[in-house]
């Protein structure tokens, strides 16, 4: 049968909402994803975010009525292929180490003139409330599929970001004394039935990092690494991690560097 792609996607999202309810129950990560594949094959609903991002990238918008094709993600203006595989990195123009999300904010504000607060009004999408940031992220990330993670890591600020990420990973605090390392520091552990990747090893970090950002079946949303980090901090009982903060960038750098050499397969699919 030759169903048009758009219809197939719409069907897919409808049935996923049903599955989302079921996935809230305790199933292991492997089970939920296997179940999903059985129903939908290799179709990844993240494609919906990718195409929305692609359209956003090419549309003239904002006070400057510009599109984003001059956005420099590290490999030169407009180059998106392979760009995600080298992030986070230092940018001379902003004098900052940036991850993909914060770099996209820089491009949107400088090239299109859209105020940061306006663009970031919906950082993390929720049903009808769609996030432009997530769509653009998905679009750029998909252009690095199959590329090995290779960070420049030459600039002292990049090395400092890594060191801070490493320190933040072990930082025990809050009423439960949790650190990232409490849950992700050892091999073969799980919380309830959720397998916990050991993020301090190349194997564990690759397994996790190469599939993020990811479409989350249980939420019916595409989620970015910034989302993943702030949600783990929530579980850690800490206050709200600020978007693009030093610790957010540092931890992303730490995970990306640990995952170096891994082949990107994002956006992935997660429980």
Binding residues vs another protein (CB under 8 A)? 26, 156, 159-160, 162-164, 166-168, 170-179, 182-183, 185-186, 188-193, 196, 233-235, 237-242, 245-248, 250
Q: How far is CA 187 from CA 32, 167, 216, in A?
A: 21, 20, 23
Instruction: Work out how close the CB of 167 gets to another protein at its nearest, in angstroms, rounded to a whole number.
Output: 4
Which 8-state DSSP code applies to residue 219? T
Centroid of chain to Cα 237: 22
Q: Which is nearer to ligand HEC, 85 or 251 (CB)?
A: 251
The entry of ligand HEC, another protein, none near residue 2 (CB within 5 to 8 angstroms by kind) is: none
Q: What is the 3-state secondary structure (H, E, C) of 151-175?
A: CCCCCHHHHHHHHHHHHHHHCCECC
How many residues touch ligand HEC under the rule CB under 6 A: the total is: 23
The β-bridge partners of 269 are 215
Which residue among the candidates 71, 107, 180, 232 is catalytic per the annotation? 232
Taking CB under 6 A as the binding criterion, the range among 63-71, 94-102, 147-155, 195-203 that sits at the site for ligand HEC is: 195-203
Q: Which is nearer to ligand HEC, 20 or 75 (CB)?
A: 20
Instruction: Work out how close the CB of 247 gets to another protein at its nearest, in angstroms, rounded to a whole number.
Output: 4
**Residue list 8-47, contact with ligand HEC (CB under 6 A):** 29
Question: What is the side-by-side order of every strand in the sheet holding 268-270?
Answer: 221-223, 214-216, 268-270
Instruction: Work out how close the CB of 72 gets to ligand HEC at its nearest, in angstroms, rounded to a whole number.
Output: 27
Q: Which is nearer to another protein, 110 or 182 (CB)?
A: 182
Q: Is 180 a catalytic residue?
A: no
Q: How many CB atoms lie within 10 A of CB 159?
A: 15
Centroid of chain to Cα 69: 21
Which 8-state DSSP code applies to residue 270? E
- As a whole number of angstroms, the distance between CA 144 and CA 15 comes to 28
Q: Which is nearer to ligand HEC, 56 or 249 (CB)?
A: 249
Residues 93-122: x where in contact with ligand HEC by CB under 6 A, - otherwise, as a string:
------------------------------
Among 52, 89, 257, 270, binds ligand HEC (CB under 6 A): 270
Backbone angles phi, psi at 119, to 5 degrees: -65, -35
Q: Taking CB under 6 A as the rule, does residue 248 contact ligand HEC?
A: no
CA nearest to 52, candidates 265, 178, 221, 187: 221
**CB-based contacts of 23, cutoff 8 Å, min separation 6:** 32, 217, 218, 271
Residues in contact with ligand HEC by CB under 6 A are 29, 178, 180, 182-184, 191, 194, 196-197, 199, 207-208, 228-229, 232-233, 235-236, 251, 255, 270-271
Catalytic site positions: 232
């Amino acid at each position: 049968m030759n169903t048009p792609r758009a219809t197939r996607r719409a069907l897919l999202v409808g049935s996923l909402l049903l599955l989302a309810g079921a996935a809230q129950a305790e199933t292991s990560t492997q089970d939920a994803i296997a179940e999903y594949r059985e129903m939908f094959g290799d179709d990844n609903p993240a494609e919906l975010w990718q195409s929305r991002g692609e359209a956003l990238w090419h549309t003239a918008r904002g006070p400057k009525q510009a599109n984003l094709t001059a956005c420099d993600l590290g490999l030169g203006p407009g180059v998106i292929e392979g760009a995600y595989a080298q992030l986070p990195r230092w940018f001379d123009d902003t004098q900052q180490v940036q991850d993909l999300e914060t770099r996209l904010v820089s491009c949107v504000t400088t090239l299109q003139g859209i105020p940061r607060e306006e663009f970031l009004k919906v950082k993390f999408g929720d049903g009808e409330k769609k996030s432009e940031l997530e769509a653009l992220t998905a679009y750029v990330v998909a252009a690095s599929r199959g590329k090995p993670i290779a960070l420049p890591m030459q600039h002292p600020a990049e090395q400092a970001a890594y060191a801070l990420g490493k320190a933040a990973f072990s930082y025990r605090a809050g009423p439960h004394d949790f650190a990232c390392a409490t849950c992700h520091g050892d091999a073969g552990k799980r919380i309830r039935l959720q397998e916990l990747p050991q993020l301090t090893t190349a194997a564990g970090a690759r397994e996790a990092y190469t599939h993020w950002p990811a479409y989350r079946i249980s939420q019916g949303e595409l989620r970015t690494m910034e989302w993943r980090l702030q949600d783990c901090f929530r579980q850690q009982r800490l206050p709200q991690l600020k978007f693009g903060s030093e610790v957010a960038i540092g931890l992303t750098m730490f995970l990306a560097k640990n995952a170096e050499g891994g082949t990107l397969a994002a956006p992935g699919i997660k429980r």
